[in-house]
Amino acid sequence: MANLTAAQKHSIELTSMQESENTTQHLIDNPNRLIPTPNVNRDSARDDEERWNPLAVDPIASRFSSYAAFNGKEIVTPLAPDRSADAKLTDAHNQLRHQILGQFFPCTGAISAFSQKSYRFGLYPELACDNAVRGVCHDLYEFCHEFPGVDDHFITFIAMFRDPVIQSEQHFEDILWNQLQAMHTLDSNFFTWDKSVASDPTNHHFSFSIGGRAMYVIGMHPESSRLARTRPYPTVVFNLHEQFDRLRARGKFETMKQTIRGREMAFQGSTNPMLTSFGENSEARQYSGRAVPADWTCPFHPHKTDAT
């Protein structure tokens, strides 16, 4: 700007300020949309991050992000390495880890993920509130980027919530689907449904999709009738569907299923009546953990662009 007049410099500065104000106002007016990249040089690392995490530019999502891992000694926060883990997050994780690795816990996949430390987790505000929806979506995008494929290790993401106080299995089921519906509404601005599964919850090949990847969802809460799904905190577990497809391709899925059912019999004295293999019935019926009746209607509705 050495050859510009003072008046020209002042005009450029005013234009730059106005562009910054317009960008901020755009986020406020359109919280579900990406901010257009301004015509300025930006840090390449942030540019790369936005390719896999469109909510990296959303201040609400970033504020309520809680992406955490356990290194065998302590909780670490990969997205904010200098930040100490929240006391409630530490407590919630300790309880969950003790439960999963305790005697006779049925799910061998969960036991494997916790033993190998191939799981990620977070603690969020009230289940189904906007802050929780944005925070969980933000962290699931990070999870999908950190684990672009699956190998022989089970990987899982566990979202725990501070509230509400769960009154019944029906209460949890209602707000679980509110959370998933709101996540899909936000996610559909950026990603399409995973084409390997159906988006129609009545379809026997339905599976939830986030970040373009199919997820098998498990709800856990203090009022669950299934002991393995009983948790002090409302909890939603997201398992990448592709790891189950890998097990089927290798002929190991049925063996694992029978092992889990045998352990569940030892744990509770009965097996979960809702559990079926993928393709036998819609897995939407399994998500909340409640024994839903035959005429149950899933409250989830995919966006028209994702309807399959």
For 110-134, write each residue's pLDDT tens digit. 999 999 999 999 999 999 999 999 9
Could you tell me if residue 5 is inside a domain?
no
pLDDT of residue 39: 32
Could you tell me if residue 162 is inside a domain?
yes
CB atoms within 10 A of CB 253: 16
205 contacts 241 by C-beta, under 8 angstroms? no
pTM: 0.81
Could you tell me if residue 134 is inside a domain?
yes
Residues near 23 by Cβ (< 8 Å), separated by ≥ 6?
35, 36, 38
Q: How far is CA 46 from the centre of its chain?
A: 21
Give the pair of three-digit tokens for residue 296.
């149950």
pLDDT of residue 226: 92
Q: For residues 153 and 232, what is the distance between their CA atoms, to the nearest angstrom?
A: 27
> Each residue of 149-169: b (16+ CB within 10 Å) or e?
ebeeebbbbbbbbeeeebeeb
pLDDT of residue 137: 98
pLDDT of residue 197: 96
pLDDT of residue 44: 46
Q: For residues 99 and 101, what is the distance between their CA atoms, to the nearest angstrom?
A: 6
Could you tell me if residue 10 is inside a domain?
no
For residue 276, what are the domain limits? 57-306
Coil, helix or strand for 27?
A: helix
Could you tell me if residue 79 is inside a domain?
yes
Nearest CA-CA partner of 195 in 185, 184, 183, 205: 205
Q: Please state at what angle helix 241-249 crosses helix 253-268, rounded to 10 degrees.
A: 120
Q: For residues 179 and 167, what is the distance between their CA atoms, to the nearest angstrom?
A: 17
227 contacts 177 by C-beta, under 8 angstroms? no
DSSP character at residue 108: H
**Tally of domains within the chain:** 1
Could you tell me if residue 45 is inside a domain?
no
- Residues of the chain short of pLDDT 50, as ranges, are 1-46
CA angle 13, 14, 16 (to 5 degrees): 65
DSSP character at residue 85: P
Q: For residues 262 and 22, what is the distance between their CA atoms, to the nearest angstrom?
A: 60
Q: Please give the sequence-ordered ranges of beta strands (E in DSSP) within 45-188, or none if there are none.
A: 69-70, 75-76, 119-124, 156-161
pLDDT of residue 150: 75
Nearest CA-CA partner of 153 in 117, 121, 100: 117
Could you tell me if residue 107 is inside a domain?
yes
Residues near 174 by Cβ (< 8 Å), separated by ≥ 6?
299
Q: What is the CA radius of gyration of the chain?
A: 22
pLDDT of residue 82: 87
Could you tell me if residue 19 is inside a domain?
no
| Total residues found in the chain within this entry | 308
pLDDT of residue 47: 54
